[in-house]
Chains A and B, each alone.
Chain A
């Protein structure tokens, strides 16, 4: 039934010659119903609009939710990748630290061995069991050891010079033996040979 038809019916009822209470009441009811229909139609339109807006908003929320879920998934994936990378990095750091520790331990061992040798050498030079180095420190012990070794080298050089002088004297004495024998046989072949022997003995100084 259209809006016009219901009002027209109401007018027709009003215009009828045999107006009765029932007719008037019917016309009034028709008008009320018409008005109610208009109100309800407006309300329905408003609800439809509201629903549409809510649907749009809901759709927006759904899109956001999907975006959030995607972001969460991405974050989870990144977190997982980070966990793997972190584990790899930690393993690499652990290996590097272990290698560094091993290298340090080897270096410390080497330094300990060197120190041991130095202490032994200092003890030998200072002619004790290491007491001088323990009492005066390695630095002073080294300085004093250098002086001591220099003194020893000077002494050895002095002894070498003495030995060389003794050898020269002995060589000359041996040559003199030949000279003395030659003087007993001057101008002879044997004398000449003894003279040559003396010269050869003296020539040893050049060898």
Chain B
């Protein structure tokens, strides 16, 4: 069930049912919707953080290799590769 559908159901219930139970059901649907939003945002935040950490670790692989060829064409290319990898975060 998507958030919009849940809120629509709550709005529809609010229009049709005036009893105490109906009021509670509407409040619960809205509360759960808000909770789902919060948890989804937290999950997305965790995924973004994990991806960023992985990206940095990959860039570090290139940095480590570049450190064995400092000032050479190969070293510069590896440095460029690390920069391109880090630049993925702005995509």
Binding site for B on A (CB under 8 A): 155, 159, 162-163, 166-167, 169-171, 173-175, 177-178, 181, 185, 189-190, 193-194, 196-197, 200-201, 204
| Residues of chain A lying within 8 A (CB to CB) of residue B43 | 159, 162
Which secondary structure dominates chain A's binding surface? helix
With A166-B51, A194-B77, A204-B61 known to touch, is A177 a contact of B46 (CB < 8 Å)? no
Instruction: Compute the total of residue contacts between A and B using a CB distance below 8 Å.
Output: 71
Task: Judge whether B85 and A162 touch: CB under 8 Å.
Answer: no
- In the assembled complex, the Cα of A174 lies from the Cα of B89 at a distance in Å of 11
Chain B contact residues, CB within 8 Å of chain A: 39, 43, 46-47, 50-51, 53-55, 57-59, 61-62, 65, 69, 73-74, 77-78, 80-81, 84-85, 88
Contact residues in B for A200 (Cβ distance below 8 Å): 61, 65
- Kindly identify which residue among B47, B74, B85 contacts A177, using a CB–CB cutoff of 8 Å: B85
Tell me if B61 and A159 are in contact (CB < 8 A). no
A162 / chain B contacts, CB cutoff of 8 Å: 43, 47
